[in-house]
Amino acid sequence: MNLTLAEKILTSRRVPQAASHDADVPVRPGDLVEAAVDLVLANDITAPIAIREFGTLGVADVFDSDAIVLVADHFTPNKDIASAEQAVVMRRFAKQQSIGHYYDVGRVGIEHVLLHELGLVIPGDVIVGADSHTCTAGAFGAFATGMGSTDIAVAMATGCVWMRVPETIRIELCGELNPWVGGKDLILETIRRLGVGGATYAALEFTAATGYTAGQMMRLEDTVGVVVGTVVSGAQVVLVYQAAKIVVPCVEITSGNLADFTVGSKVYFDVADAEVNATAVGNFLCGIVLETPSTGDETILIHLMGCLGIVA
């Protein structure tokens, strides 16, 4: 099918409607669809709101206890009574619903890194989360987007969400990275070109040549929420990482060769134009392999908050 990656995924996850006769017709930008979700994410700030709303829906159980991921990564260790109460709400809900993917103090990390480290993100999945950085999962070929806590409550109850199929902006990365330039620098340059809010209700599809690390692609897509975009990625760099993490069979998923980007747009980006900025230290701490201008043999490994940074 000559569809963008977002259209291909949403077509495969569309829930057939009883009165519809076009179940086999691919979705197009602007269509309103009900999509089945593969993973629902929330944290100790957003989950309590979703849990309270869940309690008003008249359902006893979540649609799939293995498809819900609750991560206590914002308020833990708890700094006061209020933050502790937030954690308690999520902890009790996880126990009541037998949610296996519940991560608390001692086995937690940054939620958007944790999903990938645990091999929970599968190419072609639809992932929704009550956090704007949920789009990080797009680095692994998923359709990933943030939503409000009330939307997440319904997703936990039904396993489905309603959405308008977004237009796609394709970001084609080419050229060679300058020394010290990382994923954060690339996304900031992308935002400079698109403008803040320049991808409102659009999917950003990134393609890139080899030479990028999984951490670079994750960092590139983690900040897409600034331009209000959902992310899906055609970059092949993450396949090796996925093979080591994901325990179920998965295949590469890409947009069609003749996919129509005219509704959205294409942006050609020579990464040599990207410069190092004040976030270089942030790159170092977010799982990106940085190459120094020198050729020293010494390697330093830093482990911080569940993320790896390597300097060679």
Q: Is the pLDDT of residue 271 over 70?
A: yes
Which residue ranges does the chain devote to CATH 3.30.499.10? 5-164, 167-278
Predicted local confidence at residue 267, as pLDDT: 73
Report whether 306 contacts 110 (CB < 8 A): yes
Q: Mean pLDDT lowest for which of 6-15, 266-275, 294-303? A: 294-303
The region, left, alpha or beta by phi > 0 then psi within -120 to 50, assigned to residue 21 is: alpha
Q: Is the pLDDT of residue 106 over 90?
A: no
Q: What confidence tier does 213 reach under pLDDT thresholds 50, 70, 90?
A: low
User: Distance between CA atoms of 24 and 110, rounded to whole angstroms?
Assistant: 39
Q: Report if pTM > 0.85.
A: no
Report whether 199 contacts 183 (CB < 8 A): no
Instruction: Please name the helix (run of DSSP H) or strand (run of DSSP E) that holds residue 309, with its range, or none.
Output: strand 307-311
Q: Is the pLDDT of residue 228 over 70?
A: no
Q: Is the pLDDT of residue 224 over 90?
A: no
Q: Is the pLDDT of residue 308 over 50?
A: no
pLDDT digit string (tens) for 37-47?
999 999 999 99
At the fourth CATH level, which superfamily is domain 5-164? Aconitase, domain 3 (3.30.499.10)
pLDDT digit string (tens) for 4-54?
888 989 999 999 875 555 667 899 999 999 999 999 999 999 999 999 999
Q: What confidence tier does 220 reach under pLDDT thresholds 50, 70, 90?
A: low
User: Distance between CA atoms of 28 and 82, rounded to whole angstroms?
Assistant: 45
Report whether 184 contacts 223 (CB < 8 A): yes
Could you tell me which CATH class the domain 167-278 is placed in? alpha beta
Report whether 169 contacts 204 (CB < 8 A): yes
Q: What confidence tier does 309 reach under pLDDT thresholds 50, 70, 90?
A: very low
Report whether 173 contacts 200 (CB < 8 A): no
Q: Dump the DSSP string for 188-200.
A: HHHHHHH-TTTTT
Predicted local confidence at residue 61, as pLDDT: 97
Average confidence score pLDDT of the chain: 76
Find how far residue 142's CA is from the centre of its chain: 7
More confident residue, 223 or 76: 76
